[in-house]
């Protein structure tokens, strides 16, 4: 880690404050204040507020959508794809130039460790770079019909797109939707999560500096109900990209349905790591631990279930439990192994699951309680937890806890592994750990998930499509699939 980053992080950790943040909305190329109240932005590592931001509502959403609508019609849809690509390329370069500052802001706002925040910023830059290169490679097809009839398709930008962002990966999730939307020629109204609004506002400045015309990218901050709901219900929004809970995703889809607005929904999961007796145990332990304790378990694609063959269960879970107990918790800016959870509300939700498990006498192999930063006694922390020998019907197996909490299920055969792994309402990702490539391929085929990890977890880049089956969502982001989501295909049939 660069010494610049470390000294900035130390400075911010000591003072508890950071310069350069905005408490305004960004609409039509300007940071603007509106008369409404402010909301507090909290540092999850201490539980104390460190900044304020604007509580936007229907009026600001109206203004932002109007700006995006005008910018789409008059400016952005007329900018040639190669030029759109150049602006995105410049955006990637600026993110990299400002990476230390963005990293510290993201860590402070979300609670995530400095190393993870650094990874997120690099990921956001890479996302803009990828779609910069893709902007002028969006092509249509031509079709053989008959000698005097030419049929061809043209991918056209959808128009104004709404981006409702979650708090677990604030900048990375924003980039995942915004970069392809801009590449396709769409304009944007982004509504960051009320827990983590800061890097979206910083992105507004960066995109402007990169040369993005006014009105193409707008940010309205505020709560889901006050700002998110009117955005989802807006008749001039052509596409909504939403990442968050199933419950809210359903509300967004209902609002969209009234206007026949297209949606991409990414709604989390309860993803199984299927570990077979013939796996490379050390590799599997590393990956399973990483899959559930990274970002304190607040990851849509976390490996929150371990589905393991009985013959290695005891040894594996013993070793994994020791690993969990050794993880250092602390304020994200000190770059520990595991940071706090994102909000007091999320802490309460996870605590509810832990207390319920205790009351029911669930076998606890590691952790099992909420805690605080060992250095300060502050903040919203959860011990890395393992609950063992769970039945498929257990709520710890079925429900997304969204914390560092692993549910273990024991299986006796490959068929049972498939049945157990698929037995939830979710289907985002699934992992397979085995040295037998025939078994790996069979599982990859049989597991009902949008993305399968074999002998690794998370290690696929922006190039690869990502999204969920069943209640995990609708549509795919990332890769060229992610770009096509922001296009409507026009077919032309021409007789000559």
- Residue 251 binding: pick among Mg ion, ligand NAI, none (C-beta 5-8 Å cut-off by kind): ligand NAI
Q: Which is nearer to Mg ion, 221 or 261 (CB)?
A: 221
DSSP state of 353: H
Query: Does residue 427 bind ligand NAI (CB under 6 A)?
Result: no
Query: Smallest gap, in angstroms, from Cβ of residue 111 to Mg ion?
Result: 7
Rounded Cα–Cα distance for residues 453 and 274 (Å): 10
Among the listed residues 186, 279, 300, 487, the single catalytic one is 300
Task: Using alpha carbons, list the distances in angstroms from residue 406 to 166, 265, 349.
Answer: 22, 25, 15
- Footprint of ligand NAI on 226-255 (CB under 6 A): 228-229, 232, 243-245, 248, 251-252
Query: Does residue 430 bind ligand NAI (CB under 6 A)?
Result: no
Q: What string of DSSP letters covers 231-284?
A: HHT-TT--EEEEES-HHHHHHHHHHHHHHT-EEEEE-----EEEE-TTS-HHHH
Give the closest residue to 62 by CA, choosing from 234, 242, 219, 226. 234
Query: Does residue 161 bind ligand NAI (CB under 6 A)?
Result: no
- Residue 8 binding: pick among ligand NAI, Mg ion, none (C-beta 5-8 Å cut-off by kind): none
Query: Does residue 128 bind Mg ion (CB under 5 A)?
Result: no
62 is catalytic: no
Binding mask 116-155 for ligand NAI (x = CB under 6 A): ----------------------------------------
- Select the span of 16-24, 220-228, 378-386, 388-396 touching ligand NAI (CB under 6 A): 220-228
Query: Smallest gap, in angstroms, from Cβ of residue 21 to Mg ion?
Result: 11
Return the structure tokens found at 462.
């922006």
Radius of gyration over alpha carbons of the chain, in Å?
23
- Residue 245 binding: pick among Mg ion, ligand NAI, none (C-beta 5-8 Å cut-off by kind): ligand NAI
- Residue 224 binding: pick among ligand NAI, Mg ion, none (C-beta 5-8 Å cut-off by kind): ligand NAI
Measured in whole angstroms, the distance separating CA 329 from the mean position of its chain's CA atoms is 22
Residue at shortest CB range from ligand NAI = 224
Listed in sequence order, the residues at least 6 apart from 250 whose beta carbon sits closer than 8 Å to its beta carbon are none
Rounded Cα–Cα distance for residues 433 and 302 (Å): 15
Rounded Cα–Cα distance for residues 161 and 205 (Å): 19
Q: Total residues at the site for ligand NAI (CB under 6 A)? A: 28
Binding mask 389-418 for ligand NAI (x = CB under 6 A): -----------x-x----------------
- Residue 402 binding: pick among ligand NAI, Mg ion, none (C-beta 5-8 Å cut-off by kind): ligand NAI
Measured in whole angstroms, the distance separating CA 146 from the mean position of its chain's CA atoms is 47
Query: Does residue 53 bind Mg ion (CB under 5 A)?
Result: no
Among the listed residues 129, 266, 383, 477, the single catalytic one is 266
Return the structure tokens found at 115.
């190393």
Pairing of strands 385-387, 364-366: antiparallel
- Candidate list 26, 42, 101, 426; residue touching Mg ion; CB under 5 A: 42
Task: Using alpha carbons, list the distances in angstroms from residue 87 to 83, 212, 223, 341, 486.
Answer: 6, 7, 30, 35, 18
- Candidate list 5, 92, 104, 165; residue touching ligand NAI; CB under 6 A: 165
Query: Smallest gap, in angstroms, from Cβ of residue 411 to ligand NAI?
Result: 25
3-state secondary structure of 351: helix
- Footprint of Mg ion on 175-234 (CB under 5 A): 195
Binding mask 266-305 for ligand NAI (x = CB under 6 A): xxx-------------------------------x-----
Query: Does residue 180 bind ligand NAI (CB under 6 A)?
Result: no
279 is catalytic: no
Query: Does residue 67 bind ligand NAI (CB under 6 A)?
Result: no
Listed in sequence order, the residues at least 6 apart from 45 whose beta carbon sits closer than 8 Å to its beta carbon are 108, 111, 330, 331, 332, 333, 339, 340, 373, 378, 379
3-state secondary structure of 456: coil
Is residue 478 within 8 Å of residue 463, measured between CB atoms?
yes
Rounded Cα–Cα distance for residues 335 and 117 (Å): 10
Binding mask 69-108 for Mg ion (x = CB under 5 A): ----------------------------------------
H or E element that contains 92:
helix 81-97
Query: Smallest gap, in angstroms, from Cβ of residue 199 to ligand NAI?
Result: 13
Query: Does residue 446 bind ligand NAI (CB under 6 A)?
Result: no
Query: Does residue 39 bind ligand NAI (CB under 6 A)?
Result: no
Point out which residues pair with 263 in neighbouring strands: 240
Is residue 157 within 8 Å of residue 183, measured between CB atoms?
no
Binding region for Mg ion (CB under 5 A): 41-42, 109, 195
Binding region for ligand NAI (CB under 6 A): 164-168, 191, 193-194, 223-225, 228-229, 232, 243-245, 248, 251-252, 266-268, 300, 346, 349, 400, 402
Report the catalytic residues: 266, 300
């Amino acid at each position: 880690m660069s010494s610049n980053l470390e000294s900035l992080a130390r400075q911010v950790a000591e003072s508890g404050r950071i310069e350069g943040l905005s408490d305004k909305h960004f609409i039509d190329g300007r940071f603007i204040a509106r008369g409404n109240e402010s909301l507090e932005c909290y540092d999850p590592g201490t539980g104390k507020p460190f900044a304020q931001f604007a509580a936007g509502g229907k009026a600001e959403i109206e203004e932002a959508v109007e700006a995006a609508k005008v910018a789409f019609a008059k400016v952005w849809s007329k900018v040639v794809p190669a030029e759109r690509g150049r602006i995105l390329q410049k955006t990637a370069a600026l993110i990299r130039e400002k990476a230390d500052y963005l990293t510290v802001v993201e860590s402070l706002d979300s609670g995530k460790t400095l190393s993870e925040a650094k990874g997120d910023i690099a990921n956001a830059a890479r996302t803009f770079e990828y779609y910069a290169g893709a902007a002028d490679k969006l092509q249509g097809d031509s079709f053989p019909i008959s000698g005097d009839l030419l049929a061809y398709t043209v991918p056209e930008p959808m128009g104004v797109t709404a981006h409702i962002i979650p708090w677990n990966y604030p900048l990375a999730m924003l980039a995942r939707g915004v970069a392809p939307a801009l590449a396709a020629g769409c304009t944007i109204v982004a509504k960051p999560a009320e827990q983590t609004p800061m890097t979206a506002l910083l992105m507004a400045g960066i995109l402007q500096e990169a040369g993005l015309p006014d009105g193409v990218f707008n940010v309205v901050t505020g709560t889901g109900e006050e700002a998110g709901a009117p955005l989802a219900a807006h008749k001039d929004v052509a596409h909504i990209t939403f990442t968050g809970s199933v419950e809210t995703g359903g509300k967004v889809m209902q609002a969209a349905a009234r206007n026949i607005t297209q949606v991409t929904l990414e709604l989390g999961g309860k993803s199984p790591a299927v570990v077979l007796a013939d796996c490379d145990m050390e590799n599997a332990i590393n990956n399973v631990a990483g899959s559930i304790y990274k970002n304190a378990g607040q990851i849509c694609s976390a490996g929150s279930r371990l589905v393991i063959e009985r013959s290695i269960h005891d040894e594996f879970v013993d070793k994994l439990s020791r690993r969990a107990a050794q993880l250092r918790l602390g304020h994200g800016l000190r770059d520990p192994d595991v940071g706090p959870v994102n909000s007091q509300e999320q802490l309460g939700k996870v605590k509810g699951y832990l207390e319920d498990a205790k009351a029911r006498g669930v076998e606890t192999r590691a952790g099992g309680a909420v805690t605080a930063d060992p250095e300060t006694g502050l903040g919203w922390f959860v011990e890395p937890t393992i609950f063992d020998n769970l039945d498929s019907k257990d709520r710890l197996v079925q429900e997304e806890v969204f914390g560092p909490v692993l549910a273990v299920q024991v299986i006796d055969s490959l068929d049972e592994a498939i049945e157990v792994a698929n037995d939830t309402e979710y289907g985002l990702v699934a992992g397979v750990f085995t040295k037998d490539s025939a078994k790996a391929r069979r599982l990859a085929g049989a597991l009902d998930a949008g993305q399968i990890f074999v002998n690794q977890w998370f290690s696929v880049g922006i190039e690869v499509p990502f999204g969920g089956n069943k209640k995990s969502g609708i549509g795919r982001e990332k890769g060229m699939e992610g770009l096509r989501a922001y296009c409507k295909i026009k077919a032309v049939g021409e007789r000559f």
